[in-house]
Structure formats: C-alpha cells, structure tokens
Amino acid sequence: MKKSLLIALIFLLLGCVGGDDEGQNFGNIFEGTDGLMLNQEEHPDGWGRSECFACHPINEIHREDRTGTGVLPLEDIQEFVEQEGLDSCPICHGDNGVME
C-alpha cells in the first residue's frame, strides 16, 4: 500500500512542471496577460488542476512580493492561505480552468 502511494505521489509531482520549466513565472506576476488570474497559456502544466498545493507547497508560496510594488502584505496573505487552504487560491488567481 505504501509503495503505490509513493509511486502516485512521484507521478503527481512529475506532472507539475514541463521539461523546460514552461509555465513557470518567477518574475513580476502582474506582467502576465491576465495579471494575478491564471490562464491556460501561462499555467499549462497546472491548468484544470484543483490541488494547487501539489505543485505550490503552502509553506513556499507568498514568501516574496512578485508584484514589483514592494507593498504586498505577505504576512497577512500567508495567514489567510494557511486558514483557508485551497479555497483561498481562486479568490486571487481565478478558477484555473477547474469546473465544479
């Protein structure tokens, strides 16, 4: 049982990024075509996936102000994400192509 869980986890993580880091934007998030909102073109490997934390671990996101403004309240955002979990993602980043 544990072996199959480990294999599934490995495949999940391998599916998070393309071979050439396509879709990974580590610059100013507002420079994208839709700003904070995710779209299929800029987020191809994660588009349509609802488990954001599989590729974006909660303890690693929102640690740096990627808006270029330097005024983002990172501690407040981190606390909100920790409290709301995955439900916090669509508030700022849209539905990521996930249909309910």
- Report the percentage of the chain scoring pLDDT > 70: 70
Give the separation between CA 88 and CA 66, rounded to whole angstroms: 18
Asked if residue 100 is part of any domain, the answer here is no
Asked if residue 37 is part of any domain, the answer here is yes
Asked if residue 99 is part of any domain, the answer here is no
Structural domains of the chain, count: 1
Asked if residue 50 is part of any domain, the answer here is yes
pTM of the model: 0.70
Give yes or no for a contact between 1 and 61, defined as CB atoms under 8 angstroms apart.
no
Amino acid at 27: G
Asked if residue 21 is part of any domain, the answer here is yes
Asked if residue 64 is part of any domain, the answer here is yes
pLDDT tens digits, one per residue of 47-59: 999 999 999 999 9
Q: Which of 16-25, 34-43, 75-84 has the highest mean pLDDT?
A: 75-84
Residue 15 has pLDDT above 60, yes or no: no
